[in-house]
Amino acid sequence: MKDFSKFEAKLNLKFKNRDFLIQAFCHRSYLNENPDFPLGHNERLEFLGDAVLELVITEYLYQKYPQKPEGDLTNWRAALVNAKMLSKIAKRLGFNPFLLLSRGEAKETGKARQYILADTFETLIGALYLDQGYSKCKEFIKKYLIKELPEIIEKGLFKDAKSHFQEEAQERVGITPTYEVLKEWGPDHAKNFTIGVFLEKELVAKGEGSSKQEAEEAAAKKAIETKRW
């Protein structure tokens, strides 16, 4: 078994129940090769951690930027909690050596590993929440993740949702998104459009705008939120 006390020391964490921490790093594949492992895999913790993470980020943005509209806050939140960002932070914090993976998964170092790292960041938040509550999660997320926000805003890393959604859709489900005008109204000089973004026949999200391009971008942003990509 890996020495998780080293992980705790590195991040200045002290779990009351270290089983929560160990389970946070246990990928489903690990149990296939280690059926006697006393703890379950981490997927339920991911479900919990995802919700806690989203609430912490949402609360921070709401309080920190009282003049900003919902659209901006949504885009900034999406840029903070997407897989690319979470995996980058997890890698930086030294998650890799502690992952409990099958031998096959352990050899995979590309996109699949990126998603595992991102998921594990969320499972760690779930474990921390169960062990020490909301305030500790808030402190951890602010210390390691929210500090990325100024760069996101400064460099416009939250923009161009269409490209982002297409890249994620092709990588995750092997489908290129398509866009379809669902509704248009108004005079020729002031048209409005509702456009849907589809993954094959699945309508993922709708967006509105005064041009097709604007409506497509809005739909892609909502699709990223819907799919949590």
Rounded to 5°, angle at Cα 51 from 150 and 199: 85
Model confidence pLDDT, tens digit, residues 56-65: 999 999 999 9
**Spatial contact of 55 and 122, defined as CB atoms under 8 Å apart:** no
Catalytic residue among 46, 50, 216, 225: 50
Domains of the chain: 4-155 (1.10.1520.10), 161-227 (3.30.160.20)
Q: Which two tokens stand for residue 211?
A: 């041009």
Closest CA to 141 of 211, 219, 60: 60
Residue 122 appears among annotated catalytic residues: yes
**Spatial contact of 49 and 126, defined as CB atoms under 8 Å apart:** yes
Residue 131 appears among annotated catalytic residues: no
pLDDT of amino acid 7: 95
| pLDDT classification of 22: cutoffs 50, 70, 90 | very high
Q: Give CA–CA dist 127/135, Å, rounded.
A: 13
**Spatial contact of 7 and 21, defined as CB atoms under 8 Å apart:** yes
Catalytic residue among 46, 122, 131, 225: 122
Q: Which two tokens stand for residue 46?
A: 């991911």
Model confidence pLDDT, tens digit, residues 130-181: 999 999 999 999 999 999 999 988 877 776 788 789 888 988 999 999 999 9
Q: Give CA–CA dist 187/18, Å, rounded.
A: 64
Phi, psi of 60 (to 5 degrees): -60, -50
Q: Give CA–CA dist 36/65, Å, rounded.
A: 49
Say whether pLDDT at 38 is over 80. Answer: yes
pLDDT of amino acid 83: 83
**Spatial contact of 145 and 80, defined as CB atoms under 8 Å apart:** yes
